Structure 1
Amino acid sequence: MSKHPLRSVLKVGSNTLLSRLLGFARDIILAHLFGAGEMADAFFVAFRIPNLFRRLFGEGAFSQSFVPVLGEYRARRSTAETQAFVADVSGWLALSLAIFTLFGILGASLVVYAIAPGFAADPDKFQLTVELLRITFPYLFLISLVALAGGILNTHGHFTVPAITPVFLNLSIIATALLWAPHLQQPVIAVAWGVLIGGVVQLLFQFPSLKKLGYLRWPRLRRRDPGVVKVLRLMGPAAFGASVAQVNLFLNTILASLVGANVVSYLYYSDRLVEFPLGVFGVALGTVVLPLLSRQAAESSAQFPETLDWALRLTWLIGLPATIGLLILAEPLLISLFRYGAYSAADAAQSSLSLIGYGIGILPIIAARVLAPAFYAHQNTRTPVRFGMISVAVNMGISLILAWPLQQLGLALATSTAALVNAALLWRRLHRDGLYQMQPGWLPFLLKSSSMAVIMGLVLFFLRGDTALWLALPLWERLLRVLGLVALAALIYLGGTWGLGIHELRDIIRRRTERV
């Protein structure tokens, strides 16, 4: 009997939780040092650019194409053939990344001008961003290879090492910010080097696990491996879709640099809070579901729709209270975590607007991370790409309409609306094609869980207190108060759902434990 998926989700989520907590510590330090000013804007753009491209070369188009093919090799080919396939893929990926990274470093000024044209009005800010980007751009090369290693390990059921790897990036940034930055005239440069150092450590951390599985081999550039051809064929549509998605993200960054001062930073700090539930739970669930569905699709297993239904119920059960909690506690959370040093009360108020806009998209974003792997598992990258392009168009249109009147709130709302469109299209097509059928019991499940989430939200609303109270509290009282509210909310929701007889999660676990 193989390990059942919830255990893997919890393992990935718990390791990711450590990374997210360190990420909060990292962002608290950055907020204290740089606030939402010039250096913060410059660093966040320089850090965002390689992270945007990693969605093409790393966890995005590449992983979506590579993992299903690797799963097929494991199921139908010998170990030697599978290892040779991985060596070929890693060789071509490394070569492509090296060329792309070199162009990124040499053309850094053009990249910054294209991504954040508003910075050109301030020559010092523009030049600082260019300098930071030349330091951080090689992180793309490193983190994409980390994603390749993570895909291999996840396919073999080894989730712990890939999940804990991001910890080293946060530790590296924290160390350079605290130990090196104070000694530099431009302290933010030390933080940029922390990104690059963190990428090196993340890659090296994968090596022992890869060696144990027999995949730590020199990359090669053999052109006739049919698996490589299949990955490239699948990656074509996915890469096109990812490229369109990057255009959308670039547009948001361009608009953020144009519509108002410090909007880039406001979006960054609010995005960090939204990434907590998305990273701890959404990424964990998507990480486990893709190799599991790929295996079931390769074996033509009847468990495929059941696994998908299980993942969607888990998405609703966790995503709904997380959404309501973030919307109600938006400003208290930002004040508690970041309102120190250069990060002002006004910055927290402005960041809370984009946090509300982003928070609305938590459920559809997690749902899409569950639904899209159902297509990738069947080696169908075209359909998710088509729907992704539609959602990108929606995002672009709404962003252009709302960016100037609502600034960061408008950009965040556009992102959430596009995520909702994408998830709805994916769900509708899976249902229409017969790949997913809703299992019995959804209506009472939705009614009971929603009612408890509303009750939880009302309690949080009445206990939250006003902004002046949070600003007056010292650091430890803020943190204890916000942690107490979060713990109370969890107790109300989980206790209430159990009291109402929402035993679906227990029943699903029992059923999957028996059948997986």
Structure 2
Amino acid sequence: MAHARQTGFLKSSLGVAFATLLSRALGLVRVMFEARVLGGGSVASAWFLAFSIPNLFRRLLGEGALGTALIPLVAQAEAEHGPDKVRRDLGVVFAVLSLILALVVALIAGGALGLRAFARSETGAAMFPLLATERMQLVLAILPLLMPYAFFICLVGVVGAVLNTRKEFVLPALGALLLNFFLIGGLGWGYYRAIPPAGLPQFLNVLSFLVLGSGALQLVLMLLLLWYHGRFPSLKRESFRDCAILKQLWKLVLPGMIGGAALQISFLVDRMLAIWLGPQAVPALNNVDRIVDLPIGIFALALGSVLMANMAQAAARGSREELAEDLVFSLRHVYFVCIPMAVLVMLFWQPLIRMLCLGGNYTESDLEATRYVAIFYGAGIPSFCVLKVVLPVYYARKMMKIPLYSSLVSIACNIILNLCLMWTLKQGGIALSTVLASMLNNTILITLLHREGFNLQGRLMLLTGLRSLLLAGAVGVGLYFLYPQLRRMLELPWFGEFPAFVALMALFGGLYFGASFLLRAAEPREFFDIVRRRKKTEKL
């Protein structure tokens, strides 16, 4: 029974992962255009830093604590009172959240405009010379245009969380494609027009309006999907008299927002500090971050979103054993999938980033600036992914304070390590600090679960991790020496080394998966079980 349930949510996770794969694949295309059009200097630094701020709100509220906390509350309200109660509660939540987001957007946008005016004055330039640099002036100029995106996309995330309770996972994940479609279109136009460096600051305004358009359209489509499922928010005056859901959300979201935001806050802190290191630091961190975000988004985030819905139901039944079984199952698959991805990035960072970014306004010097960032962020992929499947165990039980305290410790650790390492390792030190802080956060959360009495099968976890690391390492090192020959054989005039890199990934995946199957690892067999069940269903 447990195996059927676990393969069931693994199957759902794979559906979300496929939808997310499309979005992340387009995201890599976007990285290619961003690098070639914006380069790796001041203009790229400004764009990435400004865009990271509304993205932080998306990850904190849209994909983070608010959506996560809403899932068990909606499931409970529907089970006890029916869909009408859910619609009334959602109406209250949407109204209050919209007001809060509007105020946040206005404050940040207004603050950016005021700070820009101050930085242009003689007093401001003398007191804070960093604010007078080209990259910071561009940040303050486009941030007011980008901030309304946070309003749209946070509401999109909340709608997606409600749809998850209706077992609707794939279509909400597909909505993320819109942002990439809009930006790829705009960047492609800019690449075709060969916009000179002098015209790039004005081009950032065009990209900002495209971001806003994609967020507004995505919200409209998600609301239509919510209406289709009969859960469209119902806003009535009497609904505000009973604000129980707001009180519950306040207790859950505030600590949960910080508890689930350790990684995102660490990334933002990274960029804020990196801006001091020069114009190449932020683009280096951002480009590698987008590559690292591929396994996090494709597998761990997809698995975590499905896991949260299942764990909320298990927690409502009081099934502690089911929670532990699902967590162990998820951790095994995270290790099995994410450890080889980490090995790939660490060994083949140079051809990967060269293939994605080099060309146009992106130079060899910009490429070299990513060296240690890629190695350290790559090593942290398993740790980043583990966090996505450990947090649902706490959130499903409405235990938000423990992740809060753990995150505060890890954030403090990240800031201290940043200040110690960034001056010697530059942006590489910032990446290493983030990885170490994430590992500390995971260690605290898993240790506390063990002390609660959860049977996490530590020996099985260790064997799974070591087997994955040894197999991936052996395959990766062998292919590392083979890759120059592959590149000479398969490099084509129009495609460069792309065919060679595709062949490399195919060989790596085939050899790793095949060796794991021959060693009788459970994870490949569980994937095959899903395929066999799907074929049987199609025949029936």
Q: Residue 230 of structure 1 aligns with which residue?
A: 248
Q: Residue 399 of structure 1 aligns with which residue?
A: 418
Matches within 5 A, 1:126-165: 126-165=136-175
Kindly indicate whether residue 368 of structure 2 is the aligned counterpart of residue 357 of structure 1: no
- Comparing 499-508 with 194-203, which one deviates more in the overlay? 499-508
Q: Residue 190 of structure 1 aligns with which residue?
A: 206
Code of the residue aligned with 1:496 in structure 2: it is A
Match of 2:355 among 336, 352, 373: 336
Kindly indicate whether residue 93 of structure 2 is the aligned counterpart of residue 89 of structure 1: yes
Q: Residue 279 of structure 1 aligns with which residue?
A: 297
- In the TM superposition, what is the alpha-carbon distance from 1:54 to its structure 2 partner? 2.5
Q: Deviations over 1:279-312 (max 9, x none)?
A: 1111111111111111111112342211111100
Code of the residue aligned with 1:87 in structure 2: it is G
SS of 1:341's partner is coil
In structure 2, runs of 5+ residues without a counterpart are 534-540
SS of 1:364's partner is helix
Q: How many matched pairs?
A: 509
- In the TM superposition, what is the alpha-carbon distance from 1:237 to its structure 2 partner? 1.7
Provide the C-alpha distance between the structure 1 equivalents of 2:179 and 2:335, rounded to a whole number of angstroms. Answer: 30
In structure 1, runs of 5+ residues without a counterpart are none
- Comparing 176-185 with 20-29, which one deviates more in the overlay? 176-185
SS of 2:154's partner is helix
Identity of aligned residues (%): 30
Q: Residue 486 of structure 1 aligns with which residue?
A: 505
Code of the residue aligned with 2:408 in structure 1: it is M
Match of 2:269 among 225, 234, 251: 251
CA contact (8 A) 1:92 1:220 kept: no
SS of 2:216's partner is helix
Q: Deviations over 1:35-54 (max 9, x none)?
A: 11221111111111111222
1:408–1:220: structure 2 CA closer, same or farther, 3 Å change rule? Answer: farther
Provide the C-alpha distance between the structure 2 equivalents of 1:500 and 1:155, rounded to a whole number of angstroms. Answer: 38
Q: Residue 75 of structure 1 aligns with which residue?
A: 79
Q: Residue 538 of structure 2 aligns with which residue?
A: none
Q: Residue 131 of structure 2 aligns with which residue?
A: 120
Q: Residue 420 of structure 1 aligns with which residue?
A: 439
Q: Deviations over 1:244-280 (max 9, x none)?
A: 8776444322210112232111111111111111111
CA contact (8 A) 2:342 2:379 kept: yes
Matches within 5 A, 1:459-478: 459-465=478-484, 474=493, 476-478=495-497
SS of 2:382's partner is helix
Match of 1:209 among 225, 237, 243: 225
Code of the residue aligned with 1:503 in structure 2: it is A
Code of the residue aligned with 1:205 in structure 2: it is L
Code of the residue aligned with 2:279 in structure 1: it is A
- Aligned-pair Cα RMSD in Å: 2.8
1:436–1:385: structure 2 CA closer, same or farther, 3 Å change rule? Answer: farther
Match of 2:317 among 266, 282, 299: 299
- In the TM superposition, what is the alpha-carbon distance from 1:450 to its structure 2 partner? 3.1
- In the TM superposition, what is the alpha-carbon distance from 1:407 to its structure 2 partner? 1.0
Match of 2:28 among 14, 24, 27: 24
Q: Residue 515 of structure 2 aligns with which residue?
A: 496
1:473–1:443: structure 2 CA closer, same or farther, 3 Å change rule? Answer: same
Provide the C-alpha distance between the structure 2 equivalents of 1:72 and 1:374, rounded to a whole number of angstroms. Answer: 17
Q: Residue 45 of structure 1 aligns with which residue?
A: 49
- In the TM superposition, what is the alpha-carbon distance from 1:487 to its structure 2 partner? 0.8
Match of 2:178 among 168, 174, 190: 168
CA contact (8 A) 1:65 1:231 kept: yes
Code of the residue aligned with 1:278 in structure 2: it is I
Provide the C-alpha distance between the structure 1 equivalents of 2:343 and 2:99, rounded to a whole number of angstroms. Answer: 45
